[in-house]
Chain A
Amino acid sequence: MSRTLTFNIFRFNPQDPDSRPHQEVFTLDETESMTLFIALNRIRAEQDPSLQFDFCCRAGICGACAMVINGRPGLACRTKTRDLPDEITLLPLPAFKLVADLSVDTGTWFRQMYQKVESWIHTDKEFDPHAQEERMDNALAEEIYELDRCIECGCCVAACGTAIMREDFLGAVALNRLARFILDPRDERTTQAYFDLVGTDEGIFGCMGLLACEDVCPKQIPLQEQLGKLRRKMALAAVNHMLPKFLKPLD
């Protein structure tokens, strides 16, 4: 027998002066293999066309449908209702600017983040559009790809107590982004250049190791290991000049 699901959904439109933040209750009969994405579309189609939420790919690739599902950030399209209780509470991601209801503006945040960690290959080499792409060791390419799988949904930021408390904290996604460039041999930045970007309390040294990022990431990016490696690398870079020559990791 199918369940009747109760949805408590956050409603607020900052653009509307009459709108006040509140929760609205919707009920829906559960269908087989129903995802939250399907449920939300049905609510919008059948009950309230003004409900706002984001989606695009429906396959866990675009990251647009991230929201807080029963307390934890996750992707609506990847969350099956059968894995949830009868009552489901949906909130917009914290830490990002609210557009309306469940829709937030992650784009502005991510654009600033790219600028902040200079999220592009830094090289003095002249680009030759006719030359073959430089070959890369396959194992290394896979290692970089593992970090590049990030879909920038914002779940790690919305789950991070530090990022929610301190607006200037970069967040796991930014630190993972930088870790990806550190691995890339085409990027000619020095360790000191990376240190200048994230060797601060707003960067890696602000991370308190709560590991909510690791635990909610819908793509299972190895954030715990990357943040740990980055902290060690940046911490050693800071004391490199004090170490005896045989211990210097950066020489």
Chain B
Amino acid sequence: MPSLPDMNTPDVAELARGAAAASRATEVPTPDAGQEAFFEALLRIGDSTLILGHRVSEWCGHSPALEEDIALANVALDLIGQTQMWLGLAGEVEGKGRSADDLAYLRDAWDFRNLLIVERPNGDFGHTLMRQFLFDAYHLELLKALAGSSDPRVAEIAVKAAKEVAYHLERSSDLVIRLGDGTDESHRRMQAALEALWPYTGEMFLSDEKDAEAAAAGRIADPASLRPAWERTVRDVLGAATLTIPEGAFAHKGGKRGVHTEHLGYILADMQFLQRAYPGATW
């Protein structure tokens, strides 16, 4: 093993000071900092629909009933269509000529801004439905708020998507209720799914400075403002499903900053394979 130079505390502190000074020196103020927060906010929406659409599409051909196979494919198709709109707009706002496909297929995990809940593995069908329900309830509130965005492009996409997502929520709520209040086994599975996914719901409502900036411009809803309506829906549906809401308030987070679970890398390895293996080819 090659020997490494000694590294002790004063050295590290010195290096850090040097790096900080260098970064201050090269920092160029962005021409429109608001655009950057807007771009970031659009990625947070579009990446979540992209990754959830991908996960849901994994079921195609493997669902427990033909009707479910068809319905889930519809949900995935809606989410992919919404992704094309959100990431298309993100590319436009960024202004570097990147298309929705460039953003989906040519970024690595640390540049993805989706919520962690959508990259969680599908698990059993109940787990998939519970993830869908918890997300749909948030997604619909988000889109209802975005329909009033100060940016007409955002409002237009939100209005269109909200119609689709209202149906997603209707369907996932209905199935969560039926399975929660079905057999002992279906109840047990749905409760287990709820407990596994609950710690991933808090991230939906955390606001950081980028959210605040986009919200201040009236372009994007403040995530925290969506919580009360989401809680009402979730309480009503889970109550009807005879399921018990977990008590813990702990929230896993990081997705919105690009710090993901181990699962996202594998999703991207699948999803981006052809674009990475044959750079520049058109399909």
| A, B co-complexed | no
Which residues of B line the A interface, CB within 8 A?
none
Which residues of A line the B interface, CB within 8 A?
none
